[in-house]
């Protein structure tokens, strides 16, 4: 199918212009010979807006449901065929609207292809998963056939890559009609590689795993960080979503490789003690620094990797060392020196516990040593920015380096004196001290009639910035600061939005995402 309709809906086109192009492209549906081809074509078509953010509203509602209404008014055979496909491939709201519109057109005897009655009428014929021994990713293969058709007719496989180093997102998806060849190749690769495991799983397990992965992809994108998905993922998203619904429900999400029961604080401490007393850690020269580094490694595995502190791989260890630590943890100089060596010792300890093949352990250690050379550059000690230890302790009592910039923005007066008040003794994490600090920030506004209410809103925003909740708050502030706006004007815009939206976190996130600039006159 031609991709001429795959224009970005965020361009200057009106919705009706987008719909007109899509309906024109939908004429090709009348010429295809199988329901599978039609489903893939429509999935590719509506993938044009998957994951998009529109200022005028939700893309699935504005464009998805808008397309249904447009096709219903067109009333042509191509429009009917498109509606039939959307009734199966669309979201719940789109599907309901499309089904009603399609029935109305069919009552008017609008022509449709003979295969349209078989659209989506599929049954699962087998589900499999290929897992690497590291536990980095699963390749899930689900095979399907059309009901009432010959076993070989339109048989196909949905393939989805689930990436556990990226919070378990569905990173890639595609469809293959060479089912037997695909399964034979996957089996052969596993038999010839000790680092791969291929097995059949129950359809209920496959559904739970894929539903969780596709949800994780959406949530990853909702944090304003583009999910690292393949270029083709959006084109297959609607098709994959519909095929997953064809699998039987009833099972919880299967645990990733090496998953264990949740780790309590006591259990984490016991695991750290086991590691530090093991032969793998006997060469570590600074027991105190090694203990703190081990705690960070275990916390990362428990909190960021589905409760798998003992899972090690080259990619996971590199991400921990070069990405997570520099953003999230305040390390002392001794810990900075020790952490690569502790991580290498942990890799040997964990590999023995999980039975990771020797080649996997060697590759993990090689990856750690390669990352070690980059760690000093990746990690920036905040004290080198001119921040003294006392100030860092007050701003980062939780050691969360990612919070430093937004907390400095929220509380700019933390050093020196103000009258008889010694600012260095005030703790911005304490509610009473926090109000004093914000009062000093508003010393010139004490006579305004709504001073108490106004200061209370500044406390609200400062508290949210301190916690980073929602993350869109600081992201919006940074965009406005980058445009050269005054700090106080930026805070007033954030207050106006929070006051207007109220307690709805989803609406607040959307409103903050839509901030592009400050009006000529600030709202407060």
| DSSP result, 344-365 | HHHHHHHHHHHT--HHHHHHHH
Residue with tokens 């080198």: 384
Q: CB neighbours of 64 closer than 8 A, spacing ≥ 6?
A: 46, 49, 86, 90, 91, 93, 94
| Lookup: tokens for 90 | 């669309």
User: What is the Cα–Cα distance from 91 to 65, expressed in whole angstroms?
Assistant: 9
When mean pLDDT is compared across 144-148, 152-156, 457-461, the lowest value belongs to: 152-156
**Is residue 26 scored above 50 in pLDDT?**
yes
For 477-515, what is each residue's pLDDT tens digit? 988 887 878 888 999 999 999 999 888 888 888 888 878
The segment with the largest mean pLDDT, out of 57-66, 344-353, 515-524, is: 344-353
**Is residue 2 scored above 90 in pLDDT?**
no
| Confidence at residue 262, expressed as pLDDT on a 0 to 100 scale | 82
61 near 49, Cβ under 8 Å? no
**Is residue 179 scored above 90 in pLDDT?**
yes
Query: What is the percent of the chain with per-residue pLDDT over 90, rounded to a whole number?
Result: 59
DSSP element (H, E) containing 233: helix 233-246
329 near 354, Cβ under 8 Å? no
Sign of CA dihedral 519, 520, 521, 524: positive
User: What is the Cα–Cα distance from 521 to 356, expressed in whole angstroms?
Assistant: 62
User: What is the Cα–Cα distance from 326 to 376, expressed in whole angstroms?
Assistant: 10
| Confidence at residue 510, expressed as pLDDT on a 0 to 100 scale | 84
When mean pLDDT is compared across 13-22, 290-299, 354-363, the lowest value belongs to: 13-22
**Is residue 15 scored above 90 in pLDDT?**
no
Angle at 275 between CA 280 and CA 311, to 5 degrees: 90
**Is residue 242 scored above 50 in pLDDT?**
yes
For 390-433, what is each residue's pLDDT tens digit? 888 888 888 888 888 899 889 988 888 888 888 889 999 999 99
Per the model's pLDDT, the better-predicted residue between 387 and 211 turns out to be 211
* Number of other residues whose CB lies within 10 A of the CB of residue 290: 23
253 pLDDT band (50/70/90 cuts)?
low
Cis status, amide bond into 412, omega within 30 of 0: no
**Mean pLDDT, the chain, as a whole number?**
88
When mean pLDDT is compared across 145-159, 184-198, 321-335, 463-477, the lowest value belongs to: 145-159
| Confidence at residue 231, expressed as pLDDT on a 0 to 100 scale | 87
| Confidence at residue 123, expressed as pLDDT on a 0 to 100 scale | 94
Tell if the pTM clears 0.85, that is, is over it: no
| Confidence at residue 383, expressed as pLDDT on a 0 to 100 scale | 62
**Is residue 519 scored above 70 in pLDDT?**
no
| Confidence at residue 381, expressed as pLDDT on a 0 to 100 scale | 67
| Confidence at residue 522, expressed as pLDDT on a 0 to 100 scale | 46
Per the model's pLDDT, the better-predicted residue between 204 and 506 turns out to be 204
Average pLDDT of the segment spanning 114-131: 92
User: What is the Cα–Cα distance from 347 to 314, expressed in whole angstroms?
Assistant: 10
128 near 196, Cβ under 8 Å? no
Query: What is the percent of the chain with per-residue pLDDT over 70, rounded to a whole number?
Result: 89
User: What is the Cα–Cα distance from 427 to 407, expressed in whole angstroms?
Assistant: 12
User: What is the Cα–Cα distance from 237 to 104, expressed in whole angstroms?
Assistant: 28
Sign of CA dihedral 36, 37, 40, 41: negative
387 pLDDT band (50/70/90 cuts)?
low
| Lookup: tokens for 387 | 């921040």
**Is residue 230 scored above 50 in pLDDT?**
yes
User: Which one, of 313, 309, 308, 322, lies nearest residue 362 by Cα?
Assistant: 313
**Is residue 5 scored above 50 in pLDDT?**
no
For 58-109, what is each residue's pLDDT tens digit? 777 788 889 999 999 999 999 999 999 999 999 999 999 999 999 999 999 9
User: What is the Cα–Cα distance from 43 to 60, expressed in whole angstroms?
Assistant: 13
């Amino acid at each position: 199918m031609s991709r001429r309709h795959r224009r970005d809906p965020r361009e200057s086109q009106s919705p009706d212009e987008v719909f007109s192009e899509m309906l024109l492209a939908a004429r090709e549906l009348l010429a295809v010979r199988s329901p599978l081809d039609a489903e893939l074509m429509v999935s590719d078509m509506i993938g044009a807006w998957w994951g998009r953010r529109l200022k005028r509203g939700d893309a699935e509602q504005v464009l998805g449901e808008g397309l249904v209404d447009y096709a219903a008014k067109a009333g042509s055979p191509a429009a009917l065929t498109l509606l039939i496909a959307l009734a199966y491939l669309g979201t719940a709201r789109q599907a309901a609207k499309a089904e009603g519109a399609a029935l109305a057109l069919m009552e008017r005897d609008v022509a449709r292809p003979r295969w349209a009655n078989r659209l989506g009428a599929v049954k699962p014929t087998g589900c499999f998963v290929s897992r690497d021994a590291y536990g980095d990713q699963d390749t899930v293969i689900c095979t399907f056939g059309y009901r009432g058709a010959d076993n070989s007719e339109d048989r196909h496989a949905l393939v989805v890559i689930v990436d556990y180093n990226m919070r378990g997102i569905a990173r890639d998806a595609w469809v293959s009609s060479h089912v037997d060849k695909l399964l034979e190749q996957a089996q052969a690769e596993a038999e010839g590689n000790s680092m791969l495991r291929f097995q059949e799983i129950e359809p209920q397990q496959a559904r739970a795993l894929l539903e969780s992965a596709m949800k994780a992809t959406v949530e990853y994108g909702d944090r304003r960080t583009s999910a690292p998905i393949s270029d083709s993922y959006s084109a297959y998203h609607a098709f994959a979503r519909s095929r997953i619904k064809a699998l039987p429900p009833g099972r919880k999400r299967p645990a990733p490789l090496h998953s264990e029961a949740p780790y309590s604080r006591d259990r984490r401490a016991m695991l750290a003690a086991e590691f530090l007393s093991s032969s793998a850690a006997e060469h570590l020269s600074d027991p105190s620094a090694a203990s703190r580094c081990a705690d960070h490694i275990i916390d990362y595995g428990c909190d960021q990797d589905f409760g798998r502190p003992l899972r090690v791989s080259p990619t996971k260890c590199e991400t921990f060392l070069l990405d997570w630590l520099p953003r999230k943890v305040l390390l002392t100089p001794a810990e900075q020196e020790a952490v690569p060596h502790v991580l290498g010792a942990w890799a040997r300890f964990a590999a023995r516990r999980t039975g990771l093949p020797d080649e996997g352990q060697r590759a993990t250690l090689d990856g750690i040593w390669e990352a070690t050379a980059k760690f000093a550059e990746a990690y920036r000690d905040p004290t080198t920015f001119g921040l003294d230890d006392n100030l860092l302790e007050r701003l980062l009592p939780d050691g969360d380096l990612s919070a430093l910039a937004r907390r400095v923005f929220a509380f700019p007066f933390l050093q020196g004196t103000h009258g008889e008040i010694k600012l260095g003794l005030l703790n911005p994490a304490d509610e009473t001290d926090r109000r004093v600090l914000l009062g000093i920030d508003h010393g010139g506004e004490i006579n305004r009639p709504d001073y108490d209410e106004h200061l209370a809103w500044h406390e609200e925003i400062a508290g949210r910035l301190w916690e980073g909740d929602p993350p869109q708050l600081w992201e919006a502030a940074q965009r406005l600061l980058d445009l050269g706006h005054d700090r106080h004007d930026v805070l007033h815009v954030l207050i106006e939005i929070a006051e207007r939206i109220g307690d709805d976190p989803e609406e607040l996130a959307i409103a903050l995402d839509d901030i592009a600039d400050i009006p000529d006159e600030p709202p407060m």
